[in-house]
Amino acid sequence: MILAWIILVPFIGGVLAWVLGSRNASLGRWTALLVLLADAFLVADLWTGSSGAEELSRGVWISEVIVPWVPRLGIGLHLAVDGLSLLLIALTVFLGLIAVLCSWREVRERVGFFHFNLLWVLAGILGVFLALDLFLFYLFWELMLIPMYLLIAIWGHAERVRAARKFFLFTQAGGLLMLLSILALYVAQGARSGLYSFDYLLLLGADLPPASSRWIMLGFVIAFAVKIPAVPLHTWLPDAHTEAPTAGSVLLAGLLLKTGAYGLLRFVLPLFPEAAAALAPAAMTVAVAGIIYGAVLAFGQRDLKRLVAYTSVSHMGFVLLGIFSGTAMALSGAVMQMLAHGVSTGALFLIVGMVQERIHSRELGRMGGFWSSAPRLSAAGLVLCLASLGIPGSGNFVAEFLVLLGTWSVSMPLTAVAAAGLVLSAVYSLGIVQQVFHGPAVSAEGPADLSLRESGMLAVMIALILWLGIFPGPVLRTAGPVVQAVLCCASPGHIPPAAGVAP
C-alpha cells in the first residue's frame, strides 16, 4: 500500500495546499513543502526497507499492489517498484522539493493554486514511474500534462500561453498515438490468448506477428520520443522550458523528459524486443544527431534559459543512445544520465532563475562580471557548467563515459560523432562561464549574492552530482537488475516470457 500512498499524498496535499494557500500564501508553501517531505519519507522508507539487497539483486519487484479496478475491461490498479522506478521516484520527490523551494519568492500570485498544480504534476509523474497497468500508465501520462500546462500558461513569462499550448499539443498528440498502440496491443494480445488485460506482466508474454508488433511499437516510440525529446520532435522543448517559471523548467527538464526515457526502458524494449532491435540503428542515429544538433544550437543562443534548454536536447541524446545501443554498460549509463542530467540541468535552471530574478533579463548580452558582486552564485554556476560539460567527478561524466564505452562495441562511427558532442558541450559551457561570470561587468552594481535558501538548494544539488560522480556504485547496483532484465528480453532471438522480470 505504500506505493499507493506515495502517489496519493501529493494528490491530497495538492488540494490541501490550494485550500490553505488561497487563505494565506505562506501557509500554502509550507503545506506543499511538508507534503513533499512526507512523500520523501515514504520513498526513503521504501528504499531502506527493501534494500536488503538480495531482493534487488534478484531483480524482482521490491513492492507491488494489485487491486481490480474495471475488471470487465481487464484494468487493474497495478503499481510496482523496481530499482529503476525507485531511483526515478526518489529523483521526482527530490526535484519536487527543489521546485517548491525555488518558487518561495518567485511565485507571489495565486500561490495556493500554483502549489496545487505543482503537486499534481509530481503525482502524475510518480504514477507514470510506478504504474504497471497500461491503462493506468496512460492515465497518469495524460494527467501530468494539464497541471504542467497551467503552470506554464499562468506563471510563465511573456510568451507563456503559446509555449504552453505547443507543449501540450505535441505531448498530447504523441500520447494519443500511444493510446492507439496500447489498445491495439490489448486487442491483439487478447485475441491470441483469450485473456483481455492491460496488465504489463501479462502483455510481456505477447508474441505478436512482426508486422503488427512494428506498428504498435511505433506509437509508443513516437510518444516517448516527443517527451525525451528526440530530434526532430523536440521543437516544443526550447519554448516550453524558456517560458516556464523556474519550478516549471526544473520539473520539465528534470522529470518530464525522463518519463520518455523511462517509457522506452520499461515498455518499448521489453514488450517489442525484436522490433526495437530493428529500430535501434535508426534510433541511435537520431540520438547522435540530437547530441550534435542540441549542442550547436545551444552555442548559438543569446537567451541564457534557451541555451540551457538546448543543452537538454543534447544531453538527452546520450540517454536515447544508451537505451538503444543494447549493451549493459550503455544502459547503465543511460540510467545514470537520467539522474545526473535531472539534477544538474535542474540546478542550472535554478541559476538562470536566480539571475533573472536579480537583473530581470535572460539576455546573455546583459550579463557579465557577476563574480565580483555575487561570488557564491558564480562559483555554483561554474561548478554546474563544468558538470554539464561532463568533467570527471561529476555524475554526468560517469553517465556519458559509460554510454560512449557501451556504444563503442556496437557502432564505432556513432560513438565518435557522439564524443564530438562532448567537445561542443565544453564550448558552450565554458562560454556561459566566460560570458556571465567573468569578463567586464555590464552594470556598475552587480546582482546580489545568494541567500541562505538559495545556497542551500544549490549546495545539496552539487553535492548530489558529486556523489553520483564519485560513488556511482549504489545507483548502478540498484539499476543493475533492471538493466539485465531489459537486456535479456531485448536481445534478438531470445524472448523468455517475462523471465527475470516477473516474480
Partner 1 sequence: MTRSDLMVLLPYIILAASSVAVMLVIAVHRSYRLTVLLTLAGITTALAAFSFLSPLLPRQVTALVVVDRYAVLFSALVLLASFAVAVLSDSYLSLRTGRHEEFYVLLLIATLGAAILAASTHFASLFLGIETLTVSLYAMIAYLRDSDRGLEAGMKYLLLAAVSSAFLLFGMALVYAATGSMEFSRIAARAGGAPALTLQAGLGLIIAGLGFKLAVVPFHLWTPDVYEGAPAPVTAFIATVSKSAVVAVLLRFFGTIGISQEGPLFLVVTGIAVASMLLGNVLALLQDNIKRLLAYSSIAHFGYLLVMLAAGGPMAVVAAAFYLVAYVITTLGAFGVVTVLSGPDGDAAAIEDCQGLAWRRPWLAAVFAAMLLSLAGLPLTAGFVGKFTLVLAAIGSALWVPVAALVLGSVIGLFYYLRLIALLFAGPGRAIPLPPSLSFLSGGVLAVLLVLLLLLGVYPAPLLDLIVHAVR
Q: How many residues bind partner 1 (CB under 8 A)?
A: 32
Looking at beta carbons only, is 72 or 360 nearer to partner 1? 72
* Least distance to partner 1, CB of residue 219, Å: 10
Cβ-proximal residues to 412 (8 Å cutoff; 6+ apart), any chain = none
Asked if 143 is part of the footprint of partner 1 (rule: CB under 8 A), the reply reads: yes
Phi and psi at residue 360, to the nearest 5°? 55, 40
* Least distance to partner 1, CB of residue 108, Å: 14
For residue 342, the surrounding DSSP H or E stretch is: helix 328-359
Looking at beta carbons only, is 4 or 187 nearer to partner 1? 187
Residues between 308 and 367 that touch partner 1 (CB under 8 A) = none
Do 181 and 198 form a contact (C-beta atoms < 8 A)? no
Residues between 38 and 97 that touch partner 1 (CB under 8 A) = 69-73
Q: Which among 156, 168, 313 is positioned nearest to 228, based on CA atoms?
A: 313
Query: What pairs with residue 145 in β-bridges?
Result: none
How is residue 76 written as a grid cell?
A: 487493474
Asked if 307 is part of the footprint of partner 1 (rule: CB under 8 A), the reply reads: no
Asked if 154 is part of the footprint of partner 1 (rule: CB under 8 A), the reply reads: yes
Asked if 145 is part of the footprint of partner 1 (rule: CB under 8 A), the reply reads: yes
Rounded to a whole number of angstroms, the distance between the first and last alpha carbons of the chain is 18
Cβ-proximal residues to 484 (8 Å cutoff; 6+ apart), any chain = 59, 328, 500
Looking at beta carbons only, is 177 or 405 nearer to partner 1? 177
Q: Please state the separation of Cα 429 from the chain's center in Å.
A: 21
Query: What pairs with residue 68 in β-bridges?
Result: 76
Asked if 184 is part of the footprint of partner 1 (rule: CB under 8 A), the reply reads: yes
* Least distance to partner 1, CB of residue 154, Å: 5
* List 27, 38, 60, 139, residue binding partner 1 (CB under 8 A): 139
Looking at beta carbons only, is 20 or 98 nearer to partner 1? 20
Q: How many CB atoms lie within 10 A of CB 408?
A: 18
Do 399 and 418 form a contact (C-beta atoms < 8 A)? no
* List 8, 65, 66, 180, residue binding partner 1 (CB under 8 A): 180
Cβ-proximal residues to 427 (8 Å cutoff; 6+ apart), any chain = 295, 299
* List 168, 220, 236, 293, residue binding partner 1 (CB under 8 A): 168
* List 2, 27, 60, 161, residue binding partner 1 (CB under 8 A): 161
* Least distance to partner 1, CB of residue 259, Å: 15
* Residue bearing cell 562580471: 369
Asked if 27 is part of the footprint of partner 1 (rule: CB under 8 A), the reply reads: no
Asked if 177 is part of the footprint of partner 1 (rule: CB under 8 A), the reply reads: yes
Looking at beta carbons only, is 40 or 75 nearer to partner 1? 75
Angle between helices 111-130 and 134-143 (to 10 degrees): 160
Looking at beta carbons only, is 2 or 176 nearer to partner 1? 176
Asked if 214 is part of the footprint of partner 1 (rule: CB under 8 A), the reply reads: no
Asked if 423 is part of the footprint of partner 1 (rule: CB under 8 A), the reply reads: no
Rounded distance between C-alpha atoms, residue 98 and residue 110, angstroms? 19
Distances from the Cα of 147 to the Cαs of 91, 121, 124, 135, in angstroms?
A: 19, 6, 9, 20
* Residue bearing cell 511573456: 158
Asked if 379 is part of the footprint of partner 1 (rule: CB under 8 A), the reply reads: no
Looking at beta carbons only, is 135 or 437 nearer to partner 1? 135
Asked if 430 is part of the footprint of partner 1 (rule: CB under 8 A), the reply reads: no
Asked if 163 is part of the footprint of partner 1 (rule: CB under 8 A), the reply reads: no
Looking at beta carbons only, is 148 or 338 nearer to partner 1? 148
Looking at beta carbons only, is 165 or 214 nearer to partner 1? 165
* List 37, 38, 60, 176, residue binding partner 1 (CB under 8 A): 176
* Least distance to partner 1, CB of residue 139, Å: 5
* Least distance to partner 1, CB of residue 18, Å: 10
Instruction: Please write down the HEC assignment for all residues of 145-189.
Output: HHHHHHHHHHHCCCCHHHHHHHHHHHHHHHHHHHHHHHHHHHHHH
Angle at 255 between CA 6 and CA 17, to 5 degrees: 50
Asked if 262 is part of the footprint of partner 1 (rule: CB under 8 A), the reply reads: no
Looking at beta carbons only, is 172 or 235 nearer to partner 1? 172
Helix/strand number for the chain, H first, E second: 23, 2
Rounded distance between C-alpha atoms, residue 241 and residue 252, angstroms? 7
Phi and psi at residue 25, to the nearest 5°? -60, -45
> What residue type is assigned to position 166 of the chain?
K
Residues between 106 and 135 that touch partner 1 (CB under 8 A) = 110, 135
Rounded distance between C-alpha atoms, residue 320 and residue 288, angstroms? 9
Asked if 23 is part of the footprint of partner 1 (rule: CB under 8 A), the reply reads: no
How is residue 285 written as a grid cell?
A: 542515429
Question: Rg of the Cα trace of the chain?
Answer: 22
* List 51, 57, 172, 235, residue binding partner 1 (CB under 8 A): 172
* List 2, 66, 179, 502, residue binding partner 1 (CB under 8 A): 179
Instruction: Considering only the stretches 176-184, 202-210, 424-432, 444-452, report the one whose residues sit in contact with partner 1 under the rule CB under 8 A.
Output: 176-184
Looking at beta carbons only, is 35 or 143 nearer to partner 1? 143
Rounded distance between C-alpha atoms, residue 71 and residue 64, angstroms? 18
Residues between 263 and 302 that touch partner 1 (CB under 8 A) = none
Residue ranges that bind partner 1, judged by CB under 8 A: 69-73, 110, 135, 139-140, 142-143, 145-146, 149-150, 153-154, 161, 164-165, 168-169, 172-173, 176-177, 179-180, 183-184, 186-187
